[in-house]
Amino acid sequence: MLYSLVKPILFSLDPELAHDISLQALQRLHHVLPVSRIEKPVRVMGLDFPNPIGLAAGLDKNADYLDGLGKLGFGFIEVGSVTPRAQPGNPKPRVFRLSRYQSLINRMGFNNSGVDHLLERVGDRSRDFILGINIGKNLDTPVEQALSDYCLVYEKVYRRADYITINISSPNTPGLRDLQNEAALEELLDGISQLRTRLEDQHQFHRPLAVKLSPDLDHDAIPVIADLLRKYAVDGVIATNTTVSRDGVQGHRLSDQNGGLSGAALRDKSRQLLRDFYRELGDDIPIISVGGIDSVEEANLRFELGAKLIQLYTGLIYRGPGLVKTIAQSL
């Protein structure tokens, strides 16, 4: 009810400004907000999730708003993408609402305050939800040297994350999606696998590893990627990131803006990638479905298609934070 009152005001503002104001208000008010804890426990990737509804990476890039977001009822929250060094991202404006299509275009470009800042914000305190940390490479790091960035951040966040996601699918860092090619992906997974073995021996615990993939993958690449995920014992797949396609929003005055499209316009591609990877992986590697989930019906469909967990992002912006509780209670 409250969101329906403030939404017109927020939607009269620049999208990125509205995003920042909303999160800052949520964080400042977290002490007086009731806890919307929904217990629908599920075990995935060896972790016990309070419920299978999560927040996708990108909303809270620096883990600055965990106290407020933690009151909304999420079973898990994924922060990031975070890079070794702070970087400003792409020039503004870089977020665009396509309200007619319940969608967004963003070209943020991994704007974040760097991994050290994120770790300060995460701290060592206990939480009522599972925390994922999504990692990426700096813009000025050549793709050929990306492994060094991923390993640096992976090692730094290993103790603080409940699981770690490798983001190789954002369309807003030039060349990043090349890491989904067979040779590049194998080199990346091999390097991280060696580091993971060393860290597991050092700390005597296992941190699940997930890989976030693009909805724009060539169909022939899917079985190749699936084989590599199995070979390197990846614990989870996040399907999917934003798309560079403009299917479904052609003719909108903002559809020619560069960046990744999310929201309802991504729904069909997200469903299809879920189907394709579930066909290849079955229940061997759990799939986290994200993209265009904005209702109980859509959430239930993703679980029917094989997802073990789901994540929300753009649906929250259009439907409001109550969407978390609505979906979780329906399960």
Q: What band does 2 get if pLDDT is binned at 50, 70 and 90?
A: confident
In the CATH scheme, what architecture does the domain 2-330 have? Alpha-Beta Barrel (3.20)
Structural contact between residues 310 and 303, judged by C-beta atoms closer than 8 angstroms: yes
Render pLDDT for 13-51 as a digit per residue (tens, 0 to 9). Answer: 999 999 999 999 999 988 777 777 889 999 999 999 999
Catalytic position from the list 22, 113, 170, 270: 170
Residue 112 carries which DSSP code? B
pLDDT in tens, 265-279: 999 999 999 999 999
pTM for the structure as a whole:
0.97
- The reply to whether 262 belongs to the active site is no
Report domain extents, the chain.
2-330
Quote the mean pLDDT of the chain: 96
pLDDT (tens digit per residue) in 119-157: 999 998 889 999 999 999 999 999 999 999 999 999 999
Q: Which helix (H) or strand (E) holds 236?
A: strand 236-239
- As a 3-state breakdown, the chain gives helix, strand, coil percent values, each rounded to 5, of 40, 20, 40
When pLDDT is averaged across residues 188-199 and rounded to a whole number, the result is: 98
Q: What are phi and psi of 192, to 5 degrees?
A: -70, -35
- Per-residue pLDDT of 294-328, as tens digits, reads 999 999 999 999 999 999 999 999 999 999 999 99
